[in-house]
Amino acid sequence: MSSPDKPTVVVATGNQGKLKEFRLALEQVGFAVAGLEALSESIEVEETGTTFAANARLKAEAYSRLTDHVVVADDSGLEVDALGGEPGVKSARYGGPGLDDQGRLRLVVSKLEGVEDPDRTGRFRCALAVARAGETVAEFDGVIEGRILREPRGENGFGYDPVFFHEPSGCTTAELSPEAKQQVSHRGEVIRKFVEAVRNGSLKL
């Protein structure tokens, strides 16, 4: 059960990397964090939206019908300018079901073969939806700008992090510590916005 001083937030994701990032950020500021195991039943929510925000709402609303706690769900991904914004909302499914994180990363890099460094720009976007009892009650978004490298660097993070170079940090987001990544990442930004909304009373849990 949640309490006024330590509310429980269910993070609706099967991605353990995402769950770890949410848990790290939210537990440090007084939230109890649960994953999909907190739901009354296990379901799959198809991401049929054409935007990150639409997919986040789909997941948050569906999962929030299966718990009394508030549910947060994000949809996020990589947009590469030279690829016309791909992989975009298909970031986690890019190239089809036969590819894992490493395969998708290599696919993006291969498609950028011949593209000069100044033109390898892109960004991570994140949309967060907060829902209760099947209704979205708040939405937040975040973005981090960067450049796509030719070779992966770093062991931290997940997904496309090893080839996403963040100029202000001077390294890839996979080379940042989890704490440092929270301070600059797209997901860190939406989490901070969520926490601030709860603290200033504009979002009631």
Q: Which residues does the annotation mark as catalytic?
A: 75
**Residues 6 or more apart in contact with residue 18 via CB below 8 angstroms:** 11, 74, 76, 158, 187
* Spatial separation of the C-alpha atoms in residues 21 and 192, rounded to whole Å: 12
Direct distance between the N- and C-terminal alpha carbons of the chain, in angstroms, rounded to an integer:
13
Q: Are 159 and 17 in contact (CB under 8 A)?
A: yes
**Torsion angle of C-alpha atoms 105, 110, 113, 117, degrees rounded to 10:** 0
Amino acid letter, residue 9: V
* Spatial separation of the C-alpha atoms in residues 34 and 167, rounded to whole Å: 34
Both tokens assigned to 193: 């916005």
Q: Quick one: which of 55, 56, 51, 90 has its CA closest to 73?
A: 56
Q: Are 195 and 205 in contact (CB under 8 A)?
A: no
